[in-house]
Structure 1
């Protein structure tokens, strides 16, 4: 009933909003301490507004019905304000209030709606939605702040849409009342609130130097000051998809010569009529907007002609300290050094790349957890700059990098080089960015390869591959969307095609999988569908369970049945370490066809690093290993103990641990396995800069291959095939947030970005001697009369299977095998 009521209200509001008189808008909103609450209304029209039919409604705590209605009284002259405040508010509010109420008015999570004759004119918040404590973010929010409407912003006549106060309002500290009720509107630079002393817009007249506005610190010393500046437009980023303004920079003669003070500003004026190269004179208010010093609430702008050419300042990475970029904030700069793409995760979503002076590595992949890893993290942070696209648009129809645009065949990979980077140094969304003024040049030094680069393949290849949530619905084309992975059959087909391309190119005999749907082992299961898609020669390990543990995803093993065979039964570990957090491992012994030399492969997927409800030893210890490190380490120890006791019961000594251990090379779980006698094959064959995953621009490997001492000498090579971690995520199988043209151009049924982890490939040289028959013919673990009976019947009736009954290993089944079995039976009895 509530949802129907809200939908009906929304529909009615949409009809009425178009009929409402919009001359009156909410110009200031105060949500201060105690009862310091007030709403200021501004008459932006040319005629007086009679408030008889006007009212304010307050919707408390996400309600879709008003909990408080405040009728407005009086008249508001053109350019004048009307203030409605709480009767127990601060005297400064009461001194300018036109009306008051003793009611509670509102808190930061309550929506406020302005209506005229029942028609919605303006609003703050979102009716029917409880945002928690407030709408907005820590910098601009509806709780414990004063919000003042910016110039040129339109009233929000749809109170049911998503609300972001930063879109229309500037934020001021709690209990800021200094301009409430000021005649003509706010005196914060808004053109509806003219300063008693009009700014001098005469070109060439005295003006405030930008260096004085910027100061030598992180925050302008002139915040909230009304100023007039005159400088040259260095970059224009206004318009519908731009940044809402333009950048200006002082000419050389007006610069202060102080290397610590920037000579440029961002001017927030979405509809500005200015061009790059114009000399402009601008009047406005200095603010720190989410860390960026800028000029806003522009009251006047004059183009004074063409300004002097601006030469970019040469800067370089890494920064000397975290505050160093402030000296060039908003300035035109260039980086002459070749830069490395460290992250392309946001390329498709926001049109941006992260650059550094070289490749960055996960701290605990290259340094011991603790102080050493922290030092690496600090160095990485000082060596980072985002190459942006001069736009606030999300999911751009044309992804700009590399030129002319990103596609499935024209990619930019982490590790590629970028040169000739020129643009404005900008600060947004908690990061330093470069808004380019010319197209940078890309050099694909980290090229794609068609297949894994193994120096030697031996005679057995094992691979480990995280398949990134391969879910197949009900296995019959329906059951979508699932909990993870593809949203519909078309996405599943795209995902399948990419995975099949990648797995076939591995040319492996055995492949351990992670993040496959945990839906059992029947014909409609995800692992069965993937094996079928690979071809008739592929099979999968069925441990004889309904599913492997209780997680939505599981590990699995697929293999080439024309190359290898399973020995004995599959096994899993269900102890305390694998009940709730770490997924259950899957172990299976394999051997080459017609060979007696086998190995046990165990595939794993340990608990991720996300914190959730982690506490105690599992909480983040601040050493770089993230949360749940204790649980992962405990699982690693339990795993090595289990494997040391012949987990599969095959008697095979050779053991290979593979999978996503969610631990980097120097972290405790890997150290625990190495202490148990396992060799880190990735480190042994690739070295300290190996990686299979990129996280926030840092590369490292969560995907491991570890061999016990019995197997280690049989490993002749190990590599990681970089088909996924280095590629932009938008090149995967997903269809959302893409135009029809992008859905075609950004996708190819190839191996690249089939997942977010790179596969690990291990080459082994196994023994090729044919297997000899065991005197334990019936496989019950004993040599007794039942084995003798089976062999006797085989001899009598001529049904002797050489592989099964050739006890003495001479290639034939005859009476000598009977004597060999009797001797083995006798020896076994003597041993007992």
Structure 2
């Protein structure tokens, strides 16, 4: 994202009036092919002008600092009245160099670079907009600064001293063809007259010609390079508009097609002066050229339309190809892919009208394979599966964007993972990519829809998350202080940024959230972290958000830091908030932070730490094992590995003072899932939570160059990992076009409104990681109620003289759900002399008489607490006599005689009870 930032010195200088002696202006600008570049200066006065004190400075790619140009030429000497001074690139061709007053490297410019002419340090004229990068060129009103010669309009006699104002080249400049040097060195009245053109004989269709397949040949560059040819073909695509490619594609006539599959039958004609239509049979005279390694017909002098309304058939191709170079055989041809293709890159959608397509989602090699040969093989295969869809427009920030079908806006998005079922267009090549310029509008299908929020797992009672908030800087915290060194460039942008981030965090609904890329300005009332928490509480009235205060002015030395926020109505801080700035966290790797928490409901204790390891960029100073070793891990890998090991050791020492093994580390590790730092964490006992639960490493949080992978991770100790019930990425950012973010640069006024919504989508460039934890064991599910069961026909024995209360025996019964609905009693019928208690014990409840009743039969059912009854079963109680047999003698006989009266009395009572029952 480009930011315009002008130094205070520049603002002062730019505001000063042009001095009376400033009679020098930039009068001609040449941005030709190769190094054909020149600037012409003109003395507008009627007297000789001293050039001493004048300087011409070059500011490349939006360089905003007037005091630090990329190149400067100090002028000396004098210039006659109405005279010109020509500055030429040393690498220019002989024709242009022959017109030079001086050769200088200040002419190392392209169409997007600004030039400033100063007199004694004060701006007197300028070309382009200082401090702003327009992309490839400033282009408006049919005048472009790229690959053209521009001449100052004759009525412009004073320089443009407001170098930071928006630059519209059509206001003061006239456009001429590339490499037109005819007027360089002349201005105004001294311009050499243009001779009348010689009569041109019309081209004759059907005569001897050079075939397109011969022009293309089998290889990359044409063997007829710089050769003037006449060729014929049928127009398959027309991109002659001023904001298009500036030409048209033609394909061979049927009779001219050869049998060699390696030679293309199509070519691009860079010419717009003669209008053509699709289906025209044309004859073209021009030179064979290579433009960004694509063969084309350039320097066209004539185009003749031989016939109209012809039809052509697209050549069917398919992905993947065996080799990327195989597509060279179709360069310039009308082709079709009749297969489902998946959107893999939408980064250039809004800016350049480009969409990356492939046969499947493409992963970073080191996301799914080990670094080295395995990862590099993945990337080599990726190249064979992809193609670029290019809308054929050279205008940046097209409004509306070319895709999706109904136009891109905040609610009609085009996400990575969406699909298109067929593509028809012409095959082009530029910027090292084969691309198809569609001739039929493609129809995209939203196969990867947005989700409103990450759903909480039914068993979870804690949620931990990680979120990179992409340079959340709040100025001075009171509405001023913009632009900041990172993040929003104005308060209006910050309001838009904050609204999206707050929407995302509120929807995540986490109890603890680790943040990355938040402004490192302490913990005061106007700090960035305080601003974010206040905004969250204003948005979410159901929760009470708070931040962990580490009681320092800054954490480490970087402009950005990590942070911890939490819901004080769900968890409380426990122990001491900890940081360390010891090696390897004194530089590159951001300083680690950690805090322990306790759940208010479950009293679960756990520690959350946040990491942001060294990025993969800025490789120029990387040396040794920190250099890019070509294994897919990019540069600074070694310092990330050292950081991972040191972080794990620090956590093992319980820096918060809480001796609890439940530890989780979240953050932006700047390493994909199979890279050394993530495996170093695992070796230390901190496993990749998402990968462990998924069983693979296909989860992703980031998209770069059409490849997805996870730079953001949660790694956990063994004890905490066992409590994780789900772990996922919420794809609100990586899949969305960057055009939907909060920034207003590179957008029309209507797009500033239509592409923005205060929702979570494209709140950042990284997806949040969401971890759901079950801190208390889940209750076992209650089974369906089951009736108890009694064993059938159970038999018991009892003596006739057993006293009341004697336990006869224990019923045999079972109950499958006894822990939920235990047996609470028994229903007994058939006899009153026997009862059964709640435990199933048979008990004597009345006198028993062997002579009157030798067997008692009961009907019994068991009953559980839910009222379920077992099947009724017959239970038998056998009564045995206490009297001795007839063979008994001696003292036992006399004892029997003595007991006889008692026995008769007992039988009399028993008979009375029987009679009572009968009555």
User: TM class by shorter-chain length?
Assistant: 0.7 to 0.9
Query: 1:97 & 1:344 partners in 2: Cα distance?
Result: 42
Identify the residue that residue 789 of structure 1 maps to in structure 2.
Answer: none
* One of 762, 766, 772 as aligned partner of 1:753: 762
Counterparts of 1:237-248 in structure 2 under 5 Å? Answer: 237-248=239-250
User: Taking structure 1 as reference, are residues 107 and 457 closer, same or farther at Cα in structure 2, changes over 3 Å only?
Assistant: farther
User: TM-score scaled to structure 1, two decimals?
Assistant: 0.75
Q: Is the 8 A contact 2:366 2:674 kept in 1?
A: yes
* One of 620, 636, 641 as aligned partner of 2:649: 641
Identify the residue that residue 428 of structure 1 maps to in structure 2.
Answer: 430
Counterparts of 1:472-491 in structure 2 under 5 Å? Answer: 472-491=474-493
2:553 aligned with 1:546, yes or no?
yes
| Pairwise CA distance, 1:307 | 5.3
Identify the residue that residue 514 of structure 1 maps to in structure 2.
Answer: 516
Can you list the C-alpha shifts for 1:232-267, whole angstroms capped at 9, x where unaligned? Answer: 111111222111111111121111121111111111
Q: Is the 8 A contact 2:574 2:595 kept in 1?
A: yes
Query: 1:381 & 1:375 partners in 2: Cα distance?
Result: 10
Look up the SS of the partner of 2:269 in the other structure.
Answer: strand
Identify the residue that residue 678 of structure 1 maps to in structure 2.
Answer: 686
2:445 aligned with 1:443, yes or no?
yes
| Pairwise CA distance, 1:597 | 2.5
Identify the residue that residue 701 of structure 1 maps to in structure 2.
Answer: 710
User: Taking structure 1 as reference, are residues 381 and 656 closer, same or farther at Cα in structure 2, changes over 3 Å only?
Assistant: same
User: Taking structure 1 as reference, are residues 125 and 261 closer, same or farther at Cα in structure 2, changes over 3 Å only?
Assistant: farther
Q: Is the 8 A contact 1:6 1:128 kept in 2?
A: no
Identify the residue that residue 660 of structure 1 maps to in structure 2.
Answer: 668
Query: 1:517 & 1:39 partners in 2: Cα distance?
Result: 44
Query: 1:431 & 1:163 partners in 2: Cα distance?
Result: 31
Aligned length: 693
Counterparts of 1:115-130 in structure 2 under 5 Å? Answer: 126=115, 128=117
User: Taking structure 1 as reference, are residues 39 and 15 closer, same or farther at Cα in structure 2, changes over 3 Å only?
Assistant: closer
2:270 aligned with 1:268, yes or no?
yes
Counterparts of 1:764-783 in structure 2 under 5 Å? Answer: 764-767=773-776
Query: 2:146 & 2:672 partners in 1: Cα distance?
Result: 48
Can you list the C-alpha shifts for 1:413-472, whole angstroms capped at 9, x where unaligned? Answer: 001111221111111222111111111111111111111145445111101111111111
* One of 687, 700, 704 as aligned partner of 1:691: 700
User: Taking structure 1 as reference, are residues 523 and 456 closer, same or farther at Cα in structure 2, changes over 3 Å only?
Assistant: same
Q: Is the 8 A contact 1:543 1:569 kept in 2?
A: no
2:733 aligned with 1:724, yes or no?
yes
Counterparts of 1:122-271 in structure 2 under 5 Å? Answer: 126=115, 128=117, 154-155=150-151, 201-271=203-273
| Pairwise CA distance, 1:352 | 1.2
Query: 1:759 & 1:377 partners in 2: Cα distance?
Result: 26
Q: Is the 8 A contact 1:245 1:272 kept in 2?
A: no
Query: 2:367 & 2:309 partners in 1: Cα distance?
Result: 51
| Pairwise CA distance, 1:107 | 3.5
Residue range with higher mean Cα deviation, 295-304 or 6-15: 6-15
User: Taking structure 1 as reference, are residues 388 and 29 closer, same or farther at Cα in structure 2, changes over 3 Å only?
Assistant: closer
Query: 1:272 & 1:64 partners in 2: Cα distance?
Result: 41
Identify the residue that residue 556 of structure 1 maps to in structure 2.
Answer: 563
Q: Is the 8 A contact 1:571 1:586 kept in 2?
A: yes
Can you list the C-alpha shifts for 1:491-526, whole angstroms capped at 9, x where unaligned? Answer: 222212211211111111111111111111111111
Query: 1:538 & 1:632 partners in 2: Cα distance?
Result: 32
Can you list the C-alpha shifts for 1:375-408, whole angstroms capped at 9, x where unaligned? Answer: 1111112222111111011111101211120011
Identify the residue that residue 744 of structure 1 maps to in structure 2.
Answer: 753
Query: 2:24 & 2:39 partners in 1: Cα distance?
Result: 25
Q: Is the 8 A contact 1:59 1:68 kept in 2?
A: no
| Pairwise CA distance, 1:272 | 3.3
User: Taking structure 1 as reference, are residues 288 and 614 closer, same or farther at Cα in structure 2, changes over 3 Å only?
Assistant: same
RMSD: 4.2
Query: 2:30 & 2:265 partners in 1: Cα distance?
Result: 36
Counterparts of 1:16-415 in structure 2 under 5 Å? Answer: 62-63=71-72, 66-67=75-76, 105-110=102-107, 126=115, 128=117, 154-155=150-151, 201-306=203-308, 308-415=310-417
Query: 2:50 & 2:625 partners in 1: Cα distance?
Result: 52
Query: 2:499 & 2:82 partners in 1: Cα distance?
Result: 68
| Pairwise CA distance, 1:276 | 1.4
Query: 1:286 & 1:767 partners in 2: Cα distance?
Result: 75
User: Taking structure 1 as reference, are residues 54 and 232 closer, same or farther at Cα in structure 2, changes over 3 Å only?
Assistant: farther
User: Taking structure 1 as reference, are residues 574 and 266 closer, same or farther at Cα in structure 2, changes over 3 Å only?
Assistant: same
| Pairwise CA distance, 1:748 | 1.2
* One of 580, 584, 591 as aligned partner of 2:591: 584
User: Taking structure 1 as reference, are residues 99 and 580 closer, same or farther at Cα in structure 2, changes over 3 Å only?
Assistant: closer
Query: 1:343 & 1:396 partners in 2: Cα distance?
Result: 18
Query: 1:100 & 1:239 partners in 2: Cα distance?
Result: 33
Q: Is the 8 A contact 2:202 2:304 kept in 1?
A: no
Query: 1:193 & 1:225 partners in 2: Cα distance?
Result: 26
Could you tell me which runs of 5 or more consecutive residues in structure 2 were left unpaired when the two chains were aligned.
1-8, 41-45, 58-70, 119-125, 128-135, 138-144, 170-174, 184-193, 538-542, 779-919
Can you list the C-alpha shifts for 1:135-169, whole angstroms capped at 9, x where unaligned? Answer: xxxxx99xxxxxxx9999654669989999xx977
User: Taking structure 1 as reference, are residues 100 and 264 closer, same or farther at Cα in structure 2, changes over 3 Å only?
Assistant: closer
User: TM-score scaled to structure 2, two decimals?
Assistant: 0.68
Can you list the C-alpha shifts for 1:8-52, whole angstroms capped at 9, x where unaligned? Answer: 7799999978xx8x9xx97989979xxxx9999xxxxxxxxxxx9
User: Taking structure 1 as reference, are residues 654 and 27 closer, same or farther at Cα in structure 2, changes over 3 Å only?
Assistant: closer
Query: 2:86 & 2:223 partners in 1: Cα distance?
Result: 33
Can you list the C-alpha shifts for 1:195-228, whole angstroms capped at 9, x where unaligned? Answer: 9997760122222111111111000111101111
Look up the SS of the partner of 1:465 in the other structure.
Answer: strand
Q: Is the 8 A contact 1:29 1:38 kept in 2?
A: no
| Pairwise CA distance, 1:548 | 1.1
* One of 490, 495, 498 as aligned partner of 1:496: 498
Look up the SS of the partner of 2:409 in the other structure.
Answer: coil
Query: 1:640 & 1:575 partners in 2: Cα distance?
Result: 14
| Pairwise CA distance, 1:490 | 1.9
Residue range with higher mean Cα deviation, 298-307 or 371-380: 298-307
User: Taking structure 1 as reference, are residues 196 and 291 closer, same or farther at Cα in structure 2, changes over 3 Å only?
Assistant: farther
Can you list the C-alpha shifts for 1:723-766, whole angstroms capped at 9, x where unaligned? Answer: 11000011111122222221221111111111111111111111
Can you list the C-alpha shifts for 1:154-187, whole angstroms capped at 9, x where unaligned? Answer: 54669989999xx977689xxxxxx999xxxxxx
2:535 aligned with 1:533, yes or no?
yes
Look up the SS of the partner of 2:745 in the other structure.
Answer: coil
Query: 1:464 & 1:286 partners in 2: Cα distance?
Result: 55
* One of 622, 627, 635 as aligned partner of 1:619: 627
Could you tell me which runs of 5 or more consecutive residues in structure 1 were left unpaired when the two chains were aligned.
41-51, 75-81, 113-123, 132-139, 142-148, 173-178, 182-191, 770-832
Query: 1:666 & 1:262 partners in 2: Cα distance?
Result: 41
Query: 2:749 & 2:38 partners in 1: Cα distance?
Result: 48
Q: Is the 8 A contact 1:251 1:310 kept in 2?
A: no
Look up the SS of the partner of 1:299 in the other structure.
Answer: strand
Q: Is the 8 A contact 1:263 1:328 kept in 2?
A: yes
| Pairwise CA distance, 1:303 | 1.5
Q: Is the 8 A contact 2:30 2:38 kept in 1?
A: no
Q: Is the 8 A contact 1:563 1:592 kept in 2?
A: yes
The answer to which structure, 1 or 2, has the higher relative contact order (CA under 8 A, 6+ apart) is: 1
Identify the residue that residue 650 of structure 1 maps to in structure 2.
Answer: 658
Can you list the C-alpha shifts for 1:702-743, whole angstroms capped at 9, x where unaligned? Answer: 111111122221111111111110000111111222222212
